[in-house]
Structure 1
Amino acid sequence: MRLDKYLSQATGISRKDIRRLMRRDEVSLNGEPVRDPSLHIDPDEDEICLYDQPVGAPGPRYLMLYKPEGYVSASDDPTHPTVNSLVDLPRAEELHCCGRLDIDATGLVLLTDDGQWSHRITSPRHKLSKRYRVETADPIDDDAIRAFDQGLKLNGELRRTLPARLQILSPREALVELTEGRYHQVKRMFAALGNRVVTLHRERIGSIDLDPELEPGDYRPLTESEIDSIYS
């Protein structure tokens, strides 16, 4: 691969600016400054540095992000701030959400540019579980546990929801675990029982938990074990 193309893909810097940096001796190859952008390199064998820092090979990226309220789960939106705008990385606009959260919901969002990995999360066929912490306007009746388990008829839909697990934590607080991703599903399930969701917070996708060290708006790369867990 050409050196300028490699650096551009790995950093998000334009090839024109990469060439400009080369002329300033900001790029080195195997310890030596290099100014030839057309030089072909082997990412597995050569050490490429920018500003004296090694540049990793371009590849898929996997992030977890703590979505704050008021942000939309999209890379672009004409009226609201997006979760991508919280990511200060090159080519952040190329990342996409693996499943959406409502604008007023908070919690775990997974971002990637790996389409196959994302499909494992979002495809109904794989039935990957998601867990939400919910606060409701009215007390949650114990009968709701059985209703969630048996499936609910949502307004405007013919097919009942798949069985979902409801764990009541307090009169107005519960954990909901489901494997579907219908539009506003958790809110509509409680609405079907005559209740209203006040706050909705996603804690887990599959076996990936929202990192307790993250504050709203923060993000971090996923670990290798977290990435691999989607395929297990």
Structure 2
Amino acid sequence: MRLDKFISQQLEISRAIAGREIRARNVTVDGEVVREAAFKVLPEHEVAHDGNVLLQQNGPRYFMLNKPEGYVCATEDEINPTILYFIEEPMAWKLHAAGRLDIDTTGLVLLTDDGQWSHRITSPRHHCEKTYRVTLAETVEPELVTRFADGIMLQGESELTKAAVLEILDDKQARVTLSEGRYHQVKRMFAACGNHVVALHRESVGDIALDEALEPGEYRPLTEAEILSINLPPELQKPLS
């Protein structure tokens, strides 16, 4: 990659400004000043700006975030703060959420700059399961277990939802596992059954469970095993029930 492009991406400035920084002798490579914008930056190079080392990105990145309420799963938003507020990584703006949560929904969000990997999570064809803990306004009736398994007709839809697993935790707490991701699906499924979701918290995506050590707003890189679990072929992934 050209040095001016690398500086531009790392500092989130224009290529023109990056070029001026290079010509002003503010950029070093392996401790030596480089004034050529076209200099080719290699993976083994240590590039610094004003003495601050700029880390090179070696391959795609994968993180889990414990999303708090009040943040949107977007790279930018004119009204609400985004989840990137919590991500202290170079070029964080290149990351995207692999499966969004509503502004009032908390819990596991996976972030990556690997488009194919995130597609395996979000594409209906891959049936990637998501599990949510749900707090409800009214008592969860036992017959809802069968209704969720049989599929529910949502308002404005023409097909039943796919089979979902409902586990009743107590009178007003439940755990729901879905293999699809329709708009506001959990909230709409309970609404169709005459109940109202008070709070929604995502616990897992596929075999990746939210790290209990992460406080709201904290994040960590995914382990190699967690990353690879998303790439498993459907026949090796755990069944819905």
For the superposition of Structure 1 and Structure 2, which TM-score range results when normalised by the shorter chain? 0.7 to 0.9
Q: CA deviation at 1:175?
A: 0.8
Map of 1:35 onto structure 2: 34
TM-score for both structures, normalised by structure 1: 0.87
Rounded to whole Å, the distance in 2 between the matches of 1:147 and 1:92 is: 42
Rounded to whole Å, the distance in 1 between the matches of 2:3 and 2:210 is: 37
State which drifts further: 84-93 or 94-103: 84-93
Is contact 1:137–1:198 with CA below 8 Å preserved after alignment? yes
Secondary structure of the residue aligned to 2:187 is helix
Is contact 2:27–2:35 with CA below 8 Å preserved after alignment? no
Rounded to whole Å, the distance in 2 between the matches of 1:22 and 1:164 is: 60
Map of 1:114 onto structure 2: 114
Map of 2:148 onto structure 1: 148
The verdict on how the C-alpha distance between 1:18 and 1:108 changes in structure 2, with shifts beyond 3 A counting, is farther
Is contact 2:25–2:33 with CA below 8 Å preserved after alignment? no
Is 2:59 the partner of 1:74?
Answer: no
Rounded to whole Å, the distance in 2 between the matches of 1:156 and 1:54 is: 50
Q: CA deviation at 1:95?
A: 1.9
Is 2:209 the partner of 1:209?
Answer: yes
Q: Supply the AA of the counterpart residue of 1:48.
A: E
1:41-52 alignment, distance < 5 Å: 41-43=41-43, 46-50=44-48, 51=51
Unaligned runs of 5+ residues in structure 2 are 233-241
TM-score for both structures, normalised by structure 2: 0.84
Q: Supply the AA of the counterpart residue of 1:173.
A: Q
Map of 1:194 onto structure 2: 194
Map of 2:171 onto structure 1: 171
Secondary structure of the residue aligned to 1:154 is coil
Cα-to-partner distance string for 1:110-130 (whole Å, 9 max, x where unaligned):
112221111111000000000
| Number of residues of Structure 1 aligned to a counterpart in Structure 2 | 227
Q: CA deviation at 1:231?
A: 0.4
Is contact 2:22–2:35 with CA below 8 Å preserved after alignment? no
Cα-to-partner distance string for 1:166-186 (whole Å, 9 max, x where unaligned):
111111111100111111100
1:46-65 alignment, distance < 5 Å: 46-50=44-48, 51=51, 53=53, 55-65=55-65
The verdict on how the C-alpha distance between 1:52 and 1:191 changes in structure 2, with shifts beyond 3 A counting, is closer
Rounded to whole Å, the distance in 2 between the matches of 1:144 and 1:53 is: 56
Rounded to whole Å, the distance in 2 between the matches of 1:154 and 1:184 is: 10
Q: CA deviation at 1:25?
A: 6.7
Map of 2:239 onto structure 1: none
Q: Supply the AA of the counterpart residue of 2:35.
A: D
The verdict on how the C-alpha distance between 1:96 and 1:57 changes in structure 2, with shifts beyond 3 A counting, is closer
Is contact 2:5–2:18 with CA below 8 Å preserved after alignment? no
Is contact 2:63–2:112 with CA below 8 Å preserved after alignment? yes
Is contact 2:72–2:82 with CA below 8 Å preserved after alignment? yes
Q: CA deviation at 1:159?
A: 0.4
Is contact 1:155–1:192 with CA below 8 Å preserved after alignment? yes
Is 2:226 the partner of 1:226?
Answer: yes
Q: CA deviation at 1:59?
A: 3.4
CA RMSD of aligned residues (A): 2.3
Rounded to whole Å, the distance in 1 between the matches of 2:133 and 2:214 is: 17
Is contact 1:27–1:52 with CA below 8 Å preserved after alignment? no
